Amino acid sequence: AEACYSASAGGTSVCPNGQRSQTGPGAGDHCPRGTSGCDHGTHVAGIAAGRGSSFSGVAPDADVIAVQVFTQFEGFSSCFPSPSPCVGAYTSDIISGLEFVYAQRTERNVAAANMSLGGGTSTVPCDSDPTKPIIDNLRSAGIATVISSGNGGNSNGIGAPGCISTAITVGSTDDGSLGTGTDVVSSFSNSDTFLDLLAPGRWIESSIPDGGYSNYSGTSMTAPHVAGAWALLKGKKPDATVDEVFNALANTGVPIRDSRNGLTKPRIPVDAALDALDGGGP
């Protein structure tokens, strides 16, 4: 299943048909190369479920429902600090994308909806955000909405919509890649008491359009680690609730202390979580 929701409130649609929405084969294709940010979704999808002769995502046997929710903008004021043209997402398009995923639940075994996006900073859960109702609907259907915490380097705030209390919000740790530390909270990663999980997010190699690979950093790279892990755990126990999968990941997590705020959060360990789910064995 594929869909695109773009330019609902202005800007240029990046849906392949040039319209504000599209569903069906090809609808979830990446936006035009040369536009800043158009490698992003492919890189994220590769982390969650990539499969190849020399590369694997977290859940290589999982399928991806590709949903494009970005819009193209031009000009310094719209794109800074990224070069122009660039992409950004309207909340209304994000909601439409999540509603599309929710509609797939009766025909497809959907484990998680990944959202490697967001903006702003909230120091408390932002449950007035208009995205919360559809996140709650997904959760009630056993589907987790996994969201990156944001890259502002805040030690007491999380970006929206990751600040929604019923989402699974993920911050970044370094994993030793390219000379970084191991199991250290990344300096760019937003954090607060209501952050849920940690996963690797600095210098993560994954796929980019047209068959290439690249190392990217950001909490955008952390969320698909968790979404892929969610697919693996749901593969072991298809009827597991969001709480059951979350508890398996969190309770077996490696405790990582953030020196900026003294908070300790669990960095996911997929093998241990699989062993722990429902008290089962390896």
Q: What is the pLDDT of residues 183-200, one digit of tens each?
A: 999 999 999 999 999 999
Could you give the 3-state DSSP secondary structure of residue 173? Answer: strand
For the cut 90, the answer to whether the pLDDT of residue 222 exceeds it is yes
Residues 112/230, Cβ–Cβ less than 8 Å:
yes
For the stretch 223-262, pLDDT in tens is 999 999 999 999 999 999 999 999 999 999 999 999 999 9
**pLDDT band at residue 89, thresholds of 50, 70 and 90?**
very high
Task: Say what percent of the chain tops pLDDT 70.
Answer: 99
Residue 161: CB partners within 8 Å, gap ≥ 6?
Answer: 91, 94, 115, 118, 126, 129, 131, 132, 135, 147, 167
For the cut 60, the answer to whether the pLDDT of residue 62 exceeds it is yes
* pLDDT the model gives residue 255: 98
Residue 142, CA distances (Å) to 113, 134, 193 in order: 11, 13, 24
* pLDDT the model gives residue 74: 93
Among 115, 125, 126, CA closest to 194: 125
**pLDDT band at residue 34, thresholds of 50, 70 and 90?**
confident
pLDDT mean across residues, the chain: 95
Over residues 189-215, the mean pLDDT reads 96
The amino acid at residue 245 is V
**pLDDT band at residue 31, thresholds of 50, 70 and 90?**
confident
Provide the residue count of the chain.
Answer: 282
